Amino acid sequence: MNARALMVCLAAAWLTGCQWLPAQSRDDVAETTVAKVETPNCYAEVPGFADETCLLRDWVAFGLASQRGDGEWRERMRERLVGTQTETRLARAVVMSWGPPSQWKQASELFKADLHAAPPRLQPLLRYWLNEIERRRDQQHRLASSEQARDALVEEKEALAQKLDALTDIERNINSRQRTE
């Protein structure tokens, strides 16, 4: 019977036990909500180095905007990012790295020239972007080389086909002479 009483007590405690557990006060919930709302408002249209709390967020957002933007957007940003300040030159490099392949070399040179002057927290991201653009430049170079090699093979094939046709014609002439004799 003791076991039965114990089971009933445990069942009752289990069913009503939630009210006995320490509950988080409403003030704590309100403070957590306020803390989440007070996070810094990052994602500036043009990133800089001044705001340490938003540094990475701003640059990542700018890189994504450059990647997703069309040619017109990138051209407006390039015109806006004229200057010799390191952060301006690096932002211009980001924009150009997502532009046409003709701009990739200049973007790479800007990254290489100013990467060391960027804040240490930002340097790995910029180095990643530099490596990415160098990889794309290398792929573009390999593609151009393979297209040139393919074009040369097509020309060589056409020349060999013409020679084969000429040899076939000569053989036909020889065979037709032998038949007439």
* pLDDT exceeds cutoff 70 at 20: no
pLDDT of 161 reads: 92
Highest mean pLDDT among 12-26, 31-45, 82-96: 82-96
Mean pLDDT of the chain: 82
Quick: pLDDT tens for 24-76.
544 454 454 444 445 556 767 788 888 788 888 999 999 999 999 898 999 99
Query: Measured in Å, how far apart are the chain's first and last C-alpha atoms?
Result: 128
Q: How far apart are CA 120 and CA 124, in angstroms?
A: 8
Q: What pLDDT was estimated at residue 34?
A: 45
Q: Does residue 135 carry a pLDDT above 60?
A: yes
Buried b (16+ CB within 10 A) or exposed e, 127-136: eebbeebeee
* CA–CA separation, 173 and 145 (whole Å): 42
The residue with tokens 């905007």 is 65
pTM: 0.63
Of 53-67, 74-88, 121-135, 167-181, the poorest mean pLDDT is in 167-181
